[in-house]
Amino acid sequence: MTNNLHAKEFINSFISKERKGRCLALLESGEPSFAARLAHLNAFEERFIQPLPKGSPTAQIDFIYKFVDKVYKKDSCYIISEDKVISGKEIPVQGSIELVLGRAFGSILSFIPGKLAYYESESPGPGILFYKH
């Protein structure tokens, strides 16, 4: 486990209180245990979800990058993913959405731990942008 601060803060901020304990227990047993369940994560704190524009995936990606750029001025983010090849790494912000979009695994891009993150499930459809002021 390289850095569970991002995962722990994601859970504490964005997972519903009903599922928070279970997710934290999985994290404590090792980041891969938590990451292995990212494909179907669905118990979120709705108040922190930022609506994405309807339309093409390109429009949504552009919106996410612009939103992130307004709040986060660094060039890298931390990825937690079912894909062990990319999980646990710092990656460039630019290209990060495309790296996880439409893949057959769940991933979290953590920009500011517990404040700004993007979640992509394995299911088709838009991911979820989280922002906690």
Give residue limits of the domains in the chain. 5-131
Rg (CA), the chain: 13
Q: Are 30 and 1 in contact (CB under 8 A)?
A: yes
- Please report where in the chains the tokens 């459809």 appear, as a residue: 125
14: alpha, beta or left? (left if phi > 0; alpha if psi -120 to 50):
alpha
- The C-alpha atoms of residue 40 and residue 118 are separated, in whole angstroms, by 15
DSSP string, 8-35: HHHHHHHB-HHHHHHHHHHHHT-HHHHH
pLDDT tens-digit readout, 21-36: 999 998 888 767 788 8
Return the pLDDT at 15: 96
* 126: pLDDT strictly greater than 90: no
- The C-alpha atoms of residue 78 and residue 112 are separated, in whole angstroms, by 9
- Rounded to an integer, what is the distance from CA 68 to the centroid of its chain? 13
* 2: pLDDT strictly greater than 50: no
Take residue 43 and report the two structure tokens written for it.
Answer: 């118990």
Return the pLDDT at 47: 96
Neighbours of 51 (CB within 10 A): 9
